[in-house]
């Protein structure tokens, strides 16, 4: 595969990441656990370190210059996210700790206000716990019903099955953009359209798509969308909730405290406008600066170019994985993202990951925080997942290590 043809040179990109440079404290590994978290480029590490060293102050509080500068950096990060998602305005961007907190925010604030006894919430069978447990808990609390949109045998969502599930009591459809297990890329714009026709809201979990393809909230027309910085080359501890302005206006605060209120007296309180209304307490300031640098890094490569490159790498991986006897890959083929959950012969997935680790190939194994999906798939799986710094040599090393694993466990 000629990587330069697609304007992405993974070898050149790896030079921008300290994790891939030789270091006395580090064993060099082929990193294929990107769905769990991505590595960080120098640009992100340096932006964060520069902030803590020279720009640190609290935001939206101090009367001093350092506070004004930190506030400007924090709001510049919000503007960057708004542009990245093509939101209508920065006020539609709420900073959170990650995807998990963003979805919990929606379930608590919007859910406890607008979901009533007898209402229905639709979740898909392929959701990560982050987009499942908040809705399970909300349904129990409000006396609502959770409806499960089952996957097809090849790991896709059938839109007619959604149409059949929707009723006039459906308040929300919660759907993952790219499955963290199956690699399925869901048609979220179509799903939102169908949900809206039935009068329901739609929330998209973009944790696995944000760094790998263009994500445009106006084109998708989702009501809510969530992602985490750390899966997009940025820091941990920062994530984003996008929500349409009108929804944020009518939602009550999630947490209360400093920074989210205009007037507090013994008699009354007046909340700040969104997004401040949802950002109680000192926010993750340095992390927002790091997220800004991470999104700039992604845009410096180009999201179309990343998607095209990873698509070609995924096709290569699908071809090469087929060569391994006894390997059973889950999820759709060939139309999918670069996340490969599989089993190999009767070898336990934890054992696969352990043997691969001895060959310096880092993958994940287990149920990937999607237990109901794991149940449907018949148990735990090993999972390799790609990012823009991976290339065909990494897939070759994975395949080689899988052949070794078979031998270690006595398969000829």
Contacting positions for ligand PLP (CB under 6 A): 35, 98-100, 128, 130-131, 176, 180, 205, 207-208, 228
**Separation between Cα atoms, residue 294 and residue 384, nearest integer Å:** 23
Contact predicate 324/314, CB 8 Å = no
Which of 68, 133 has the CB closer to ligand PLP?
Answer: 133
Q: How far is CA 84 from the centre of its chain?
A: 15
- Known catalytic residue at 369: yes
Burial-class residue 39 by CB neighbours within 10 Å (0-12, 13-18, 19+). Answer: middle
Which of 205, 279 has the CB closer to ligand PLP?
Answer: 205
Q: Which residues contact 347 (CB under 8 A, 6 or more apart)?
A: 405, 406, 409
Which of 30, 204 has the CB closer to ligand PLP?
Answer: 204
What is the phi-psi region of residue 173: left when phi exceeds 0, alpha when psi lies from -120 to 50, beta otherwise?
Answer: beta
Q: Least distance in Å: CB of 398 to ligand PLP? A: 20
How many DSSP H helices and E strands does the chain contain? 15, 15
Q: Least distance in Å: CB of 225 to ligand PLP? A: 12
CA 293, 294, 297, 301 torsion-angle sign: negative
Q: Least distance in Å: CB of 186 to ligand PLP? A: 11
Structure token digits, residue 297: 């890094």
Identify the active-site residue in 80, 192, 202, 369. Answer: 369
Which of 98, 111 has the CB closer to ligand PLP?
Answer: 98
Which of 182, 251 has the CB closer to ligand PLP?
Answer: 182
CA within 13 Å, CB half, 202: 26
Measured CA to CA in angstroms, residue 234 lies from 42, 61, 68, 133, 175 at distances of: 11, 26, 24, 25, 23
Q: Least distance in Å: CB of 127 to ligand PLP? A: 7
**Separation between Cα atoms, residue 43 and residue 296, nearest integer Å:** 9
Question: Between the CA atoms of 328, 331, 334 and 340, what dihedral angle is there, to the nearest 10 degrees?
Answer: -70
**Unique residue bearing structure tokens 């898909």:** 124
**Unique residue bearing structure tokens 């990060």:** 77
Q: How far apart are the first and last CA of the chain?
A: 30
Alpha helices in 198-281 (DSSP H): 217-220, 245-250
Q: Least distance in Å: CB of 131 to ligand PLP? A: 6
Q: Least distance in Å: CB of 83 to ligand PLP? A: 22
Which of 48, 176 has the CB closer to ligand PLP?
Answer: 176
- CA 179-2-27 angle, to 5 degrees, is 65
Q: Least distance in Å: CB of 239 to ligand PLP? A: 6
Which of 119, 310 has the CB closer to ligand PLP?
Answer: 310
Give catalytic residues, as residue numbers.
369
């Amino acid at each position: 595969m000629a990587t330069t043809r697609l304007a992405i040179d993974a070898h050149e990109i790896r030079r921008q990441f300290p994790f891939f440079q030789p270091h006395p404290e580090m064993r060099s590994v082929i990193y294929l656990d990107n769905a769990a978290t991505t590595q960080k480029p120098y640009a992100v590490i340096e932006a964060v370190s520069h902030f803590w060293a020279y720009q640190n102050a609290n935001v939206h509080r101090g009367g001093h210059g350092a506070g004004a500068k930190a506030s400007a950096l924090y709001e510049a990060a919000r503007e960057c996210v708004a542009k990245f998602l093509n939101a209508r305005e920065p006020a539609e961007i709420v900073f959170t700790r990650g995807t998990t907190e963003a979805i919990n925010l929606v379930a608590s604030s919007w859910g406890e206000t607008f979901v009533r006894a007898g209402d229905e919430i639709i979740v898909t069978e392929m959701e990560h716990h982050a987009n499942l447990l908040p809705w399970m808990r909300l349904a129990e609390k409000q006396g609502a019903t959770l409806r499960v949109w089952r996957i097809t045998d090849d790991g896709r969502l059938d839109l007619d099955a959604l149409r059949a599930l929707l009723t006039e009591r459906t308040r929300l459809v919660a759907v993952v953009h790219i499955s963290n297990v199956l690699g399925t890329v869901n048609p979220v714009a179509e799903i939102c359209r169908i949900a809206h026709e039935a009068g329901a809201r739609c929330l998209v979990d973009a944790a696995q798509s944000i760094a790998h393809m263009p994500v445009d909230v106006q084109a998708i027309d989702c009501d809510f969308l969530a992602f985490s910085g750390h899966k997009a080359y940025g820091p941990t501890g920062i994530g984003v909730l996008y929500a349409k302005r009108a929804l944020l206006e009518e939602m009550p605060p999630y947490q209360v405290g400093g920074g989210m209120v205009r007037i507090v007296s013994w008699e009354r309180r007046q909340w700040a406008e969104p997004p401040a209304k949802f950002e109680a307490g000192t926010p993750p300031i340095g992390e927002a600066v790091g997220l800004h640098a991470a999104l700039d890094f992604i845009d410096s490569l180009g999201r179309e170019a990343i998607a095209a490159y990873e698509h070609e790498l995924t096709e290569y991986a699908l071809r090469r994985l087929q060569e391994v006897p006894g390997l059973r890959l889950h999820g759709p083929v060939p139309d999918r993202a670069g996340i490969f959950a599989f089993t190999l012969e009767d070898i336990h997935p934890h054992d696969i990951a352990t043997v691969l680790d001895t060959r310096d190939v880092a993958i994940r194994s287990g149920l990937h925080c999607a237990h109901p999906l794991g149940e449907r798939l018949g148990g735990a799986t090993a999972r390799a997942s790609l990012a823009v710094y991976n290339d065909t040599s990494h897939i070759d090393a994975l395949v080689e290590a899988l052949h070794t694993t078979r031998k270690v466990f006595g398969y000829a």
